[in-house]
Amino acid sequence: MGNILPWGATATGHRRIEHKQLKRNEGFDYFHQRCRAMDIERRDYILAMKYEELRQGLQNDSLTPTEVHQAYGWKILEVNDKINCVAEMITESFTMAAEVERHFHGKPNKPAFYGIPVSVKGNFFMPGYDCTIGFSKFIGMPKEVQCSLVSTLIELGAIPICLTNIPQALLSYACSNPVYGTTENPLSHGMTPGGSSGGEAALVAAGGIPFGTGSDVAGSLRIPAAMCGVVSLKPSESRLLITHSHGGFPGKCRLGLSFGFFTHNVGELINIFDLYLNSEEHLKFSPRSIPMAFDMSKVYKKEKLRIGYFSEMSFLPPVPAAQRAVRHTVKMLEADGHEVIQFDIPHPQLMAELVLKNILPDGGVYMKELFSGDIVDDYMKQFLLLLKIPDCIRKLASYGIQYFCPQLATMCRIGMNSIPELRYMQEQTDDYAREWYEQWNNLNLDAMLCPAFPVTQVPHSYPSKLGACAVYTGLFNMLDCPAGIVPVDKITEKDIQDLNNENIFSTGYNLILKDMRDGCSKDKGLPVSVQVVTLPFREELCLHVMQLVENLASKHPH
């Protein structure tokens, strides 16, 4: 891997990275020069505004795009110095801000996101900028096309200001790569902000941007939202399709690849989806998206909702804080008059196998080829080492591992060796989705509540050991269900005591459960979230329930 590559390959990679860092620093220096002269009081006034206040200030011309851009440019540099969440600054953004101001200042009918700075996830293509996904081999290969989500936002008046950091190959929730380094969680340094949209969530959580962008193929919006204490929604795949981004890996089988946003609260998220999905520009740049208006008024706001829930999967129990967050939310909903019933996950072992096989249907062949001949990030080496073990040895070893760590054994068995195997797995996936929807409809559910993720915040080195956790988020990509994250509480001392209590969170000799315990043992005081899920294309209903949960959580802290 990184330290066993031929010397020439390693040296070439490091030279490319050094050159990229010089260019990156030039961008930071340029922004510093452009932003430092701004009046401090005016800057602080702008940065203290909530999203809607900022939007209205720009719409009524009490703020200008140029000064807002300067204020957030300064804030991004300040945040990045602390947590390293930015890959590159978009230097031509000052010209874009001036241009949009020249066209619309003092005029009515401004575009919806007029003058609002927005960050761009590092795997979204920007003309003139590399999309390295953390590999030195892709440095010096600037894109000529623009991500359709970015194009839509620009047409709606937003100003892309920076590209944010992502994990190498987008296949981790440790937000780190050899090109741009490691992103810290702004709430707790030493912890990962999640991934793969980790740089985005971290920047939003730190107050560095009004809202962020991201993608989600197995939790890449929801995991960072949960770990950084912000809000996000993964829509059904066809509700918001985009072009010109790196998807992470080809042949994603039955996993829906979704795109969305990060905000500080659900109301902001509703507003952004409303303005984005109802724009003509959305379907102009993403014609394969379903032409379905976003309309919160169509949600039948019943006084009493019927909500299913599960607080754990038998395949992998979440840490006590994640389970308590669900139980706490269930009690709040019941006290508010809603009917909450337990949902039993059908065939949990089969579900986990299908999710993991859909994530890596080739058993990691593509990933091994992608990493070949390049520097491997320190936080990816353990995972890549597992992939490098020959398939036959992995599967043979799984029989022995099954007795003390069934989750690891399941991961050792992923991957298919033939087209018939792949087709059978896809048929199983479709059958499983059918059974899930039937059970949902038989229970007459409006929505579902479950853990956001089986771990809370963990150090950077743990995601490579805890890949099995992805079943909690990847499940809803496999089902193509809208799924959103809402913070509901803080992790308590009692949560940590329960985590370390073998009678409550039993680890035995299970390596994964032990790592979950060790990784979450210092999370006291950090946010814990829940996941809200609805049937496909019921994004408005999902957001309605998310907002209900958010409002209840603000009134009834644990």
Per-residue pLDDT of the chain (558 residues; tens, 9 = 90+): 445 455 456 889 999 999 999 999 999 999 999 999 999 999 999 999 999 999 999 999 999 999 999 999 999 999 999 999 999 999 999 999 999 999 999 999 999 999 999 999 999 999 999 999 999 999 999 999 999 999 999 999 999 999 999 999 999 999 999 999 999 999 999 999 999 999 999 999 999 999 999 999 999 999 999 999 999 999 999 999 999 999 877 766 789 999 999 999 999 999 999 999 999 999 999 999 999 999 999 887 778 999 999 999 999 999 999 999 999 999 999 999 999 999 999 999 999 999 999 998 888 889 999 999 999 999 999 988 888 888 889 889 999 999 999 999 999 998 888 889 999 999 999 999 999 999 999 999 999 999 999 999 999 999 999 999 999 999 999 999 999 999 999 999 999 999 999 999 999 999 999 999 999 999 999 999 999 999 999 999 999 999 999 999 999 776
User: What residue ranges do the domains of the chain occupy?
Assistant: 7-246+256-292
Residue indicated by tokens 């803080």:
490
Provide φ and ψ at 315, rounded to 5°: -60, -40
Q: Which amino acid is at 217?
A: V
CB 230 within 8 A of CB 211: no
Cα dihedral: 235, 241, 244, 247 (round 10): 50
CB burial string 243-278: b at 16+ within 10 A, e below: ebbbebbeebbbbbbbbbbbbbbbbbbbbbbbbbbe
Provide φ and ψ at 462, rounded to 5°: -85, -35
H/E stretch holding 222: helix 222-228
Task: Give the CATH fold of the 7-246+256-292 domain.
Answer: Amidase signature (AS) enzymes (3.90.1300)
Which residues are tagged catalytic? 121, 196, 220
Stated pTM of the model: 0.96
Which is it for strands 176-177 and 181-182: parallel, antiparallel or unpaired? antiparallel
Beta carbons within 8 Å of 372's beta carbon, 6+ residues apart: none
In order of 297, 334, 539, 556, the CA distances from 301 in angstroms are 9, 16, 14, 22
Provide φ and ψ at 282, rounded to 5°: -55, -55
First to last CA, the chain: 46
